[in-house]
Structure 1
Amino acid sequence: MAQKSIRYNYFLNIFRIGFGILAGLFTMPYINRVIGVEGLGKVEYVNSIIAYFVLFSALGIPMYGIRETANRRDNLKEKSKLVIELLSILFVTSLVSYLIIFFVIINIHSLLDLKPLIVIMSSTIFFSNIGIEWFYQGIEDQRYITIRFIIVRIISLILLFLLVKEPKDYLNYGIIVVLSSVGGNIFNILYLKKHLSFKGFTIKDLNFKRHLKPILTIFVASISVSIYVQLDVLMLGSLKGSTSVGYYVMANKLIRFTIIFIVTLGSVLLPRLSYLISNDKEQYVVYVKKSLNYFLIIAFPFTVIFLTLAEDFTLLLGGQEFLPSIITMKILSPIIIIVSIAYFIGYLILYPQGKENIYTIAVIISAIISVIANFFLIPILGHIGAAIIAVSSELVGVLIMILLYYKELSKLELISVNILYYIIASFIMFLTIFFISYFNIDPLVNIVISSILGFLSFFLFLFIMKEEIFLSIVLDLKSRLNQN
C-alpha cells in the first residue's frame, strides 16, 4: 500500500487528538456538574478496575503488534498470518479475563453495588481486542483511524446530552465512556479484509509460540506502567472513597488529555522508526532527534498552563465542589514533561531496537515504588499523596532508563541548545500568565487570554532565537499558504 508521509500522519493525529481534547473539555463541566463527585468517582473507579483486565487480556500485543506489522507491511502473507496468530491469542486471554471478572463480582461483596456498572464497562475488553488498533497503526492508515474516531465521538456527544441528565444516570455515562473510547473498533474487523488475505496457508502454518516471549516482556512493562497510572485511582477508591477519586480524576484527566496528545503523536513515529531501524539507520537518527524536540515543544508550555491556571480550570470545569483539585493539578503538571521523555526513550528508542527489556526493568522498579509509597501516603494525604507519587514514579522510571542505556543514548547526541530554549521560553510564559492573574478576571476569560498570550510569548522567544523545530513549522505553513 502507498506509504503516507510522516507530516501527513502528524496532521491527521493532531486533528484527531485536538478534536478529542476539545470534545473532552466541552463535556467535562457538564459531566462534573450533572454526575457530581460521587457519580464520577464510581465510573472512574470501575474504569480503573476494568483497565487492568483490558491490559491483562491484551498482554503486550498492542505495542508488539505495531512493530511487527510495520516490519511485515510489504509482505501480505506474513502480515495476514501475524494478525490471525495475535487475534487467536487475544481470544483466549479475553475469555479468561471475563471468567475472572464474573468471579470477582460474585465473591467481593464491596463491589456488588457496582455490579451493573462493572458489567457495562467490561465490554471494553471485547471491543478493545477485536479492534486490533495496532494493525492500523502499524500500516500507518491514519486516515481511516481519524474518520472512524470523529464519527464515533460525535455520536457519543449526542448520546451524552440525551441520556445523562442527573446523578442517577451514571450508568448511561458508563455506556458512553465505553462507546467513545473503543465502540468504534467494531468497524476495524469489517475493514480488515481490505488489507489482508487468508488464502495460501493453513492452521499448521501458524506459529503462536514465536510471539509469546516478546509479548510477555512488553506485557510486564505495560502492567507495571498501569500500576502507577491506574493504581492511584484504585487505591483512592478503596482507602478514601469515591469523593477523593473525584477530586483526583478532575485534575488527572485534564493533565492526561495533553499526555494522550503527545503519546499519540509518538505512536505515528513508532511504525516508521521500527521500519527504518533495519533499513536506514541514518534516517532513523534524524527522526529520533526531531521527535524529542516535537515532544518537548508541546510538553513545556502545557506544563506551565496547568501549573499557573489550575484554579481557573478547576472552577470552570468542576465548580466550587472541586476546589480541592487545584493543588492536585499543580502537583501533576510536571508529569507532562516527564511522561514525554519516558515515552520517547521507551517507545521510540528502546522498542524499535528490540531493547524493551530495559524499559520493562525501569517500569517494574517504578511500579514497586509506587505501590509501597501509595500504601503509606494515600491514607494520610489522599488525592494529594496520589499526585505526588504519580509524578515521582514516572521520574524514577526515566532516570533508570537513562542510567541503563546511557552509552547508546549518548551516541544519539540528543541534548541540544533547543532544550535550554524551551526552559527559558517556559519561564517567560510563566511570568506572562502570572502578570495577567493580578487582574482577577473571570476564569474562562483568564484561561483564554492567558493561554493566547502565554503561548505567544513562548513561541515568540523561540522565533527570536531561531529555534530549528519551530522555524521548520513556520516555514512549512508559509510554504503551504503560498501554494494556495
Structure 2
Amino acid sequence: MSDIRQKSLKKNALFSSIKSVMNIIFPIISFPYASRILLPEGIGSVNFANSIIEYFLLIADLGIGTYAAREAARIRDNKYELSKLTREILFFNFITTTIAYLLLIISLLFINRLSDYRLLLIICSTKILFSTIGIGWLYTAQEDYGYITIRHIAFQIISLILLFTLVKSKEDYLIYAGIGVFSNVGANIFNFIHSRKYINLREKTPIQLTRHIKPILTFFSVDAAGKVNGVLDTIMLGFLSGDLSVGLYIAATKLSKMVRQLITSIISTFMPRSSYLINHRESDEYESLLTKVLSITFFLSIPAAVGLLFLAEPLTIIFCGDNYLDSVPTMKLLAISIIFCSFNSYLNNLILTPNRLERFMLYAQLIALVINGGLNWILITYGLKYGIKWGVFGAGIATLLVDLTLPIVKLFAGWKYINNKKNFYDLLKALIGSALMLLVLYLIVSTITNITIKILISVITGSIVYAIIECLLRHSSALMILSMLKKHYKK
C-alpha cells in the first residue's frame, strides 16, 4: 500500500478515535448531570421513547446506510456514477421515511401504552427526518472523517451548553429529549449542503431503483433484526417492570456501550477501504489489512472489558450517583460483551459486508433475535420475583448471550479469512497482558478508598502496565503504535 493511502488509514482511525472519545466525554459530562436532575424515572422515560423510535427509524433507514456506503466506496472516483447512486438512494430513502412516519402516527393513535409518551415520541421522532437528509453514508464512502468529526464535536458542545442552561428540574425531560436529538443528528442538514463537494444532485441521471431492492432488503433485514435485538431488552423491561428498571438498566449499559462504540467506530472506518481493495482485486493489501485490524480489535477490547469490570461500582457512583448502585452487577456482566461486540464489528465491516456475504449477518441476527426474546422474557420475569435489581440482571444475561451468539454464527463464513497463527498469538498476548493488568487493578481497588483517586490511578496504572507487557510480548499492535510514536518523536 502506498504511503499516501497508509497515511490516510491512520488519519481515518485517528479522527474516528477523536469522534468516539468525544462520544464518551459528552455523556460522561452530561449523563451524571441529567441523571441527578431527571432521576431514574425521567431517564427511563426518555430512553423508553427513544427505544420505540428506533423501530420506526429502522423502517426509514431500511438498511440503506450500510449498503449505500459499500456501493459508494466502490465507485467513489466516478462523480457521475456517484451522483446517480446518491439520487437513487435519496429517492428510496424519502419513500421509506414517509412510510415510517405514517406507521408512527397509526401507533400513537391506537396503542394505549404509548399515549402517555405521545409528545415525547414526537420530539424523539425528528431524528428520523434528520437521519434521512444526512446522507452520512456518502462521507463514510469518501473516508471524510475529518469533516464528520469536526461537525460532530461542534454540535455536541452546543448541546452541552443547552443541557446545562435549559434542563433544571425533573419536569424538563422533554427538553432533554430534544437536546439529545439535536446532539446526535442536528448537524445532518449541513451534510446535505456539503455533499456538493462530491456529487452533483442537479445533474439529470436516470433513476433505477430496482437494482437496489434485493440488497437493500437484505441489509434492512439485518438492521431490523439488529436494532430489535439492541432495544428489545429495554422495551421488555419497560413493559414488564417500568421506568425505574429501564433507568437502572440504561445506567448499567451506558459505559459499556460508550467503550464499545469507541472500539467499533475505529473498526468501521476500514470498511470502505476493504470494499475498495476487494473491488480493485488487491488481495495482498486486503489480507494485510485484515490481520492488522483484528490485532487492534483484541488489543483494545480485552483490557477495556477487564478495566470496566473492576471499576464498575466506583464509576457508577461517580457518573450516576448512589441511586443507581443496583445496576452495578449488570454493568459488570455487560463489560464482558465489549470483547464479543468488537469482534462482531470486525466480522461485519472487514469480511462480510465488503465480500457481499451479508446473508450470514442476517442468519446470525435472526438466530440471536429468537434467543433474545425468549431469554429476556424468562430471565426478566424470573429475576423480578427477587426484586427489580435481579430483573435488570436477567436482561443483562440475555444481552450477553446474544452478543456471544452473533460472532459465533458469523465465523462460519469468516473463519477462512482469519485462520492464521499470527492472529492466535496476538489474541493470547492480549489475554496475558489483561490478566496481569487485572492483578494490578485488584490491588488498587482493594487498597484505595477515595473513589476519584481510585478511578484515576486505576486507569493510568492499568494502561501503563498493559502497554509495557504487550511491548515485551511483542504484540503487533503495540509494536505498530510504538513505531508511530518513535517516528513522531524524531520529527
Q: What residue number does 2:387 align with?
A: none
- Equivalent position amino acid for 2:488 in 1: R
SS of equivalent residue, structure 1 residue 193: helix
Q: Deviations over 1:343-392 (max 9, x none)?
A: 11122101100111011111111111101111211122221111101110
* Structure 1 unmatched ranges of 5 or more: none
2:389 is equivalent to residue 386 of structure 1: no
Aligned with 2:431 (options 423, 444, 467): 423
- Equivalent position amino acid for 1:425 in 2: G
Structure 1 residue 404, shift from structure 2 partner: 4.5
The CA distance in 1 between the partners of 2:455 and 2:309, in whole Å, is: 12
Contact 1:137-1:267 at 8 Å conserved across structures: no
Aligned with 1:473 (options 481, 486, 491): 481
Structure 1 residue 414, shift from structure 2 partner: 6.3
Contact 1:285-1:412 at 8 Å conserved across structures: no
Equivalent runs, 1:326-405 vs 2, <5 Å: 326-381=328-383, 382-405=391-414
Structure 1 residue 56, shift from structure 2 partner: 1.4
Q: What residue number does 2:24 align with?
A: 21
Contact 2:291-2:418 at 8 Å conserved across structures: no
The CA distance in 2 between the partners of 1:116 and 1:474, in whole Å, is: 52
Q: What is the TM-score with the length of structure 2 in the denominator? A: 0.95
Contact 2:60-2:93 at 8 Å conserved across structures: yes
CA distance 1:277–1:131, change in 2 (3 Å): same
The CA distance in 1 between the partners of 2:418 and 2:270, in whole Å, is: 21
- Equivalent position amino acid for 1:110 in 2: R
Structure 1 residue 278, shift from structure 2 partner: 2.2
2:91 is equivalent to residue 88 of structure 1: yes
CA distance 1:168–1:137, change in 2 (3 Å): same
SS of equivalent residue, structure 2 residue 187: helix
Q: Deviations over 1:150-201 (max 9, x none)?
A: 1101100000000111111000000011011111101011111121124654
Q: What residue number does 2:73 align with?
A: 70
Structure 1 residue 268, shift from structure 2 partner: 1.0
The CA distance in 1 between the partners of 2:200 and 2:400, in whole Å, is: 46
Query: How many positions carry a matched residue from both structures?
Result: 480
Contact 2:347-2:414 at 8 Å conserved across structures: no
CA distance 1:415–1:482, change in 2 (3 Å): closer
Q: What residue number does 2:253 align with?
A: 252
Q: What residue number does 2:138 align with?
A: 135
Structure 1 residue 301, shift from structure 2 partner: 1.2
Contact 1:227-1:371 at 8 Å conserved across structures: no
The CA distance in 2 between the partners of 1:401 and 1:79, in whole Å, is: 31
Equivalent runs, 1:141-152 vs 2, <5 Å: 141-152=144-155
SS of equivalent residue, structure 2 residue 354: coil
Q: Deviations over 1:65-115 (max 9, x none)?
A: 110110010111110011110111110111111111111111112211111
Q: What residue number does 2:454 align with?
A: 446
The CA distance in 2 between the partners of 1:303 and 1:137, in whole Å, is: 28
- Equivalent position amino acid for 1:255 in 2: S
Contact 2:268-2:345 at 8 Å conserved across structures: no
Q: What residue number does 1:238 align with?
A: 239
Q: What is the TM-score with the length of structure 1 in the denominator? A: 0.96
CA distance 1:11–1:218, change in 2 (3 Å): same
Q: Deviations over 1:436-469 (max 9, x none)?
A: 1122422221111111111111111001112221
The CA distance in 2 between the partners of 1:107 and 1:95, in whole Å, is: 19
2:214 is equivalent to residue 213 of structure 1: yes
SS of equivalent residue, structure 1 residue 74: coil
CA distance 1:405–1:473, change in 2 (3 Å): closer
Aligned with 1:111 (options 99, 111, 114): 114
SS of equivalent residue, structure 1 residue 165: coil
Q: What residue number does 1:261 align with?
A: 262
Structure 1: 4+ residue segments shifted above 6 A: 1-4
SS of equivalent residue, structure 2 residue 197: coil
The CA distance in 2 between the partners of 1:199 and 1:62, in whole Å, is: 22
Give the CA RMSD over aligned residues.
Answer: 1.6
Aligned with 2:444 (options 429, 436, 445): 436
The CA distance in 2 between the partners of 1:265 and 1:431, in whole Å, is: 28
- Equivalent position amino acid for 1:456 in 2: I
SS of equivalent residue, structure 1 residue 324: helix
The CA distance in 2 between the partners of 1:414 and 1:465, in whole Å, is: 13
SS of equivalent residue, structure 2 residue 199: coil
Q: What residue number does 1:8 align with?
A: 11
2:285 is equivalent to residue 276 of structure 1: no
The CA distance in 2 between the partners of 1:182 and 1:134, in whole Å, is: 13
The CA distance in 1 between the partners of 2:171 and 2:422, in whole Å, is: 52
CA distance 1:355–1:412, change in 2 (3 Å): farther
CA distance 1:451–1:286, change in 2 (3 Å): same
CA distance 1:426–1:56, change in 2 (3 Å): same
Aligned with 1:178 (options 176, 181, 184): 181
CA distance 1:112–1:277, change in 2 (3 Å): same
CA distance 1:93–1:262, change in 2 (3 Å): same
- Equivalent position amino acid for 1:118 in 2: L
Q: Deviations over 1:15-69 (max 9, x none)?
A: 1111221121122211111111000000000001111111111011111111011
- Equivalent position amino acid for 1:181 in 2: N
Aligned with 1:169 (options 165, 168, 172): 172
Q: Deviations over 1:223-273 (max 9, x none)?
A: 111122111001111111000001110011111101111121122100000
The CA distance in 1 between the partners of 2:341 and 2:421, in whole Å, is: 20
